[in-house]
Amino acid sequence: MGNINGNRKTGAERGESDIVRQKTLKSPINCTGIALHTGKKVSMTLRPAEADSGIVFRRTDLAGNGAVVDACWRNVVDTRLCTSLGDANGVIVGTVEHLMSALAGCGIDNAEIEISGPEVPVMDGSAAPFVFLIECAGVVEQDAPRRVIRILRPVGVRDGEASASLVPADSFGLDFEIRFAGTAVAHQAITVGIENGTFKKELSRARTFGFLHEVERLWAAGLARGGSLDNAVVVSGEKVLNEEGLRFDNEFVRHKVLDAIGDLYLAGAPLVGHFKGSCSGHATNNKLLRALFADRKAWCFDVMRQGDLAAPQELRQAV
């Protein structure tokens, strides 16, 4: 591929030594947990996969070989309470965002996810348990260059008060802000990259959150049956109801960044560009990917090189 950025050297100029290789798991690893919305126990196994196969989900509770759904933005079928994937045959895999975020943060390109039900287990409501599983399984480099999606020109979407955009940058980073009036959340903002251990240290432990009146309404409607103070931060007015409190002063916006990373990894490859979200959720994040891929001049495939791994700046936050 030619030189798409005036200050970027071509492969010939830099040689091949800085090319980043694809990665997969070294060995399979299993976990069990409760599904957040169905409340049912589910078993999940993360397995190695061949180079260039991407991330795929396989429903082991369904018969036949057709119960496979690719982790792709095109397959997003529901974004109301989580990000759910589906196919034309009605196979559904829900609440994929935390696991996808962990795979992105750990640099896993190829994996097969076997799951015994229609929803990924919520674990503690963060991505940290999945990072732990990946580290326990081990990570191996594969004999294939890592492909990236390089952002060439700005793309943005709006959805009411929410907005999300991608602009060209030399590496992947995120700006995010949230605003909630009259609650313990209020206004929080953060700027962060996910490489060099930043994802594990600064983002992976941030838990999903909700407001007590919303949680009670979901329970009354038969939803969020697996939700509890063990797997979510629950806010009532100015008070956090979890006995242990928050893991970060701004855990709420950190979790929204975690969600965005997982949603954006459904692009099918790491993005090289800068994301900016304001009150953005799963629906807006998916709309952004759809807008990106609808504009063929806004992106291109490229080979990842070491310079693409550098976080653009240290974590910055404002509360």
Q: Which residues are catalytic?
A: 282
Nearest CA among 257, 173, 175 for reference residue 209: 257
Separation CA 120–CA 43 (nearest Å) = 9
Of 315, 262, 276, nearest in space to 168 by CA:
276
Report which of 219, 307, 298, 306 is spatially closest to residue 7, judged by C-alpha positions: 307
For residue 276, CA distances in Å to 155, 174, 241 come to 10, 6, 30
What is the C-alpha separation between 264 and 107, in angstroms, rounded? 14
What size, in residues, is the chain? 319
Contact yes or no for 246/125 (Cβ under 8 A): no
How far, rounded to the nearest angstrom, does the alpha carbon of residue 228 sit from its chain's CA centroid?
Answer: 22
CA 170 → CA 105, 123, 198, distances in Å?
18, 34, 17
Burial 122-156 (b: 16+ CB within 10 A, else e): bbbbbbbbbbbbbeebeeeebeebbbbbbbbeebe
